[in-house]
A and B are shown apart, each in its own frame.
Chain A
Amino acid sequence: MVPSPHEEQVLGKAYDARLMRRLLGYIRPYRKSAVLALLFILAASALSVVPPYLTKVAIDRYIQTGDLAGLNLVAGAYVLTLAAVFVLSFGQTWVMNVMGQKIMYDLRRQIFRHLQSLEAAFFDKTPVGRLMTRVTSDVDALNELFTSGVISVFGDVCTLAGIVVILFLLNFKLALAIFSVLPLLFLVTFVFKLKIRDSFRRVRTAIARINAFLQENLTGAAAVQLFNQEERQFKKFRAINEEHMQANLQSIFYYALFYPILELIGAIAVALIVWYGGLKVFEGALTLGALVAFIQYSDRFFRPISDLSEKYTILQSAMAASERIFKLLDTQPAIASPAAPTAGCVERGAVEFRNVSFGYAPGDPVLHDVSFEVREGEKIAIVGATGAGKSTLIGLLSRFYDVQHGSVRVDGADVREYNLQELRRSIGIVLQDVFLFSGSVAENLRLGNPEVSDELLARAAATVHADSFIEKLEHGFETEVGERGATLSVGQKQLLAFARALVHNPRILILDEATSSIDTETEILIRRALEQLMAGRTAIIIAHRLSTIQNADRIIVLHKGRVRESGRHQELLARRGIYWKLYQLQYKDQLLGGAPAS
Chain B
Amino acid sequence: MKQRHSLLHLLPFILRYRGRMAAGFLMVGMTVVTSMLSPWVLKYVVDDLAAELVLAELPRYAAMIFGIAVVEGFFRFWMRRILIGASRQIEFDLRNDFFRHLQAMPLAFFQERSTGDIMSRATNDLNAVRSVLGPGIMYSVTTMITVVIATGILLSINWRLTLLAFIPLALVSLTVKRVGQQIHDRFQSIQEQFADITALVQENLSGIRVVKAFAREDSETARFEELNREYVKRSMGLIRLWGIYYPMMSALIGMSSVALLWFGGRQVIAGHLSLGEFVAFIAYLAMLTWPTIAIGWVINIFQRGAASMERILEILHLEPCAAAPAGGPLPGKLEGRVEIRNLSFRYPGKREPVLDNITVTVPAGETLAVVGATGSGKSTLVSLLPRLYDPPPGTVFIDGHDILQWPLAELRSVVGFVPQETFLFSDTIRENIAFGCSGQLEDGDLHWAAKISQIQADIAAFPERFQTFVGERGITLSGGQKQRVAISRAVAIKPRILILDDALSSVDTYTEEMILHELEEVMKERTTILVSHRISTVKRAQQIVVLQDGGIVERGTHESLMKRNGIYAELHRKQLLEEELETA
Chain A residues at the B interface, C-beta cutoff of 8 Å:
1-2, 6, 51, 54-55, 58-59, 62-64, 66, 68, 71-72, 74-75, 78-79, 81-83, 85-87, 89-90, 93-94, 97-98, 101-102, 104-105, 108-109, 112-113, 115-117, 120, 123, 128-129, 131-132, 135-136, 207, 210-212, 214-230, 233-234, 237-238, 241-242, 244-245, 248-249, 252-253, 255-257, 259-261, 263-264, 266-268, 270-272, 274-275, 278-279, 281-282, 288, 291-292, 295-296, 299, 385, 398, 400, 420-422, 424-425, 427, 429, 431, 435, 437-438, 447-449, 500, 504, 559, 564, 577-578, 581-582, 584-585, 598
Contacts and interface: CB of A to CB of B under 8 A. Distances in A.
A344 to B, nearest CB: 16
B186 to A, nearest CB: 13
Contacts of B413: 228
Nearest to A59: B275
A264 B69 contact: yes
B251 interface: yes
Given A66-B269, A112-B204, 4 more contacts: A2-B119, A207-B123, A252-B85, A271-B63
B258 A260 contact: no
Given A115-B205, A216-B425, A229 B261 contact: no
A66 B265 CA distance: 9
B247 A270 contact: no
A450 B40 CA distance: 76
Chain B interface main SS type: helix
A248 B220 CA distance: 44
A78 B254 contact: yes
B366 interface: no
B166 interface: no
Interface stretch (B4-12, B96-104, B517-525): B96-104
B577 interface: yes
A252 B49 contact: no
| 3 smallest beta-carbon distances between A and B, as pairs | A448-B219, A260-B73, A267-B69
Contacts of A102: 232
A215 B99 CA distance: 11
A437 B207 contact: yes
B566 to A, nearest CB: 14
Contacts of A64: 50, 275
Interface in B110-132: 110, 115-116, 118-120, 122-124
Interface string B219-239: 111111100110110011001
Contacts of B91: 245
A215 B204 CA distance: 25
B503 interface: no
A226 B581 contact: no
10 contacts: A81-B254, A93-B242, A108-B224, A123-B209, A136-B194, A221-B110, A222-B419, A241-B96, A260-B74, A275-B59
A422 B412 CA distance: 60
Given A2-B123, A89-B246, A578-B581, A222 B107 contact: yes
Contacts of A72: 262
A93 B243 contact: yes
B58 interface: yes
Given A83-B251, A120-B209, A398-B213, A93 B239 contact: yes
B221 A447 contact: no
A234 B100 contact: yes
A176 B218 CA distance: 64
A109 B221 contact: yes
Contact of A220 (B74, B204, B228, B423): B423
B245 to A, nearest CB: 9
Nearest to B49: A281
B386 interface: yes
Contacts of A87: 247
A259 B55 contact: no
A75 B202 contact: no
Interface in B406-424: 409, 412-413, 415, 417, 419, 423
Contacts of B358: none
Contacts of A207: 123
A435 B251 contact: no
B286 A299 contact: yes
A234 B374 contact: no
Given A1-B116, A435-B210, A385 B261 contact: no
A448 B409 CA distance: 56
Given A234-B100, A275-B58, A123 B68 contact: no
Nearest to B195: A136
Contacts of B184: none
A141 B69 CA distance: 37
A421 B69 contact: no
A132 B194 CA distance: 12
B250 interface: yes
Nearest to A483: B203
Contacts of B102: 217-218, 221
Contact of B205 (A123, A233, A256): A123
B247 A93 contact: yes
A326 B518 CA distance: 55
Nearest to A75: B262
Nearest to A117: B217
Contacts of B49: 278, 281-282, 288, 291
Nearest to B386: A226
Interface stretch (B76-84, B330-338, B394-402): B76-84
Given A93-B247, A222-B423, A578 B584 contact: yes
Contacts of B201: 112, 131-132, 135-136
B423 A223 contact: yes
Interface string B275-287: 1001100100010
Contacts of B208: 115-116, 120, 123
Q: Most A CB atoms within 10 A — which of B61, B69, B122, B225?
A: B69
B268 interface: yes
B564 interface: no
A226 B242 contact: no
A282 B119 CA distance: 66
A56 to B, nearest CB: 11
Contacts of A217: 99, 102-103
B297 to A, nearest CB: 15
Nearest to B492: A227
B99 to A, nearest CB: 5
Contact of B92 (A242, A449, A559): A242
Nearest to A267: B69
Nearest to B130: A248
B73 A264 contact: yes
B197 interface: yes
A136 B197 contact: yes
A292 B76 contact: no
A584 B577 contact: yes
Given A63-B269, A132-B202, A438-B203, A424 B59 contact: no
A310 to B, nearest CB: 15
B370 interface: no
Contacts of A219: 110, 115, 423
B72 interface: yes
Contacts of B217: 116-117, 421
Q: Most A CB atoms within 10 A — which of B74, B205, B212, B435?
A: B212
Contacts of B66: 264, 267-268, 271
Nearest to A78: B258
B185 interface: no
A449 B220 CA distance: 10
B76 A260 contact: yes
Contact of A421 (B215, B231, B282, B580): B215
A494 B436 CA distance: 46
Contact of A226 (B95, B218, B240, B417): B417
Contacts of B194: 136
A135 to B, nearest CB: 5
A222 B106 CA distance: 9
B288 interface: no
